[in-house]
Amino acid sequence: MSLSEISARIAKAEAKAGRAAGSVELIAVSKVQPDARVEAVLKEGHRLFGENRVQEAAGKWPTFRESFPDTKVHLIGPLQTNKARQAFELFDAIHTLDRPKLITAFARLAQETGKCPELFVQINTGEEPQKAGLRPKDAESFLAECARNDLPISGLMCIPPVDEEPSLHFALLAKIAARNGLSGLSMGMSGDFESAIALGATHVRVGSAIFGARAYEL
Ligand SMILES: *Cc1c(COP(=O)(O)O)cnc(C)c1O
């Protein structure tokens, strides 16, 4: 499917949900994709991308940014504390803040550099043991800890369990965000971004529907 088709489907979903045109940002998830495919999407004019590994992003985005300097890249995969500084320098937003250690690291980096990427807190809405993110019931105290460290949080992010109805998880994430006064919702992927938009997504993360299937899964 082409980028313009995805954009059209997003616009339609926004209208259907009674939301303003352009209220949903499309993050084109370029992880593992060949450079030629990514460059084609850049040449179509798209400027917002998602990566889930710091190392992989560090290998390709500094070069792409020389040709397309207004490009923004978001980290949507897990972050090790020892890569916090590199991530801070490389990404315009980080969607996977989920540990007190990262709060401390980011607070220190923000103070040192005087800037901070946009931050989303990841919630493990399905409470899956193998998955990153906070349990829903721990969200409030974690957000309070962010506030105590003067760390501004834009919103919440989730990855629903593969075998469950995603809209239940989108609704839960929206509820936790509303309860905590957060407006950003990073949710929805290739197979379910329209239902995420219906439930308030502000950032959808779409990979294979734009670029085609990945050569291998991470
Ligand atoms: C890979 C990935 C996506 C994109 O998945 P698609 O099904 O290819 O759209 C979205 N979010 C996260 C966190 C991912 O790792």
Q: Which of 3, 29, 187, 218 to mutate to test the pocket of ligand 1 (most atoms within 8 A of CB)?
A: 29
90-139 pLDDT, tens digit each: 999 999 999 999 999 999 999 999 999 999 999 999 999 999 999 999 99
**Cβ(187) – ligand 1 distance below 6 Å:** no
What's the chain's average pLDDT? 96
Domains of the chain are 3-210 (3.20.20.10)
Residue 114 Cα to ligand 1 midpoint, Å, equals 31
pLDDT of 2 reads: 86
Task: Tell me if 29 sits within 8 A of 57, measured CB to CB.
Answer: no
31-59 pLDDT, tens digit each: 999 999 999 999 999 999 999 999 999 99
**Cβ(29) – ligand 1 distance below 6 Å:** yes
What's this model's pTM, rounded to 2 decimal places? 0.97
Residue 82 Cα to ligand 1 midpoint, Å, equals 24
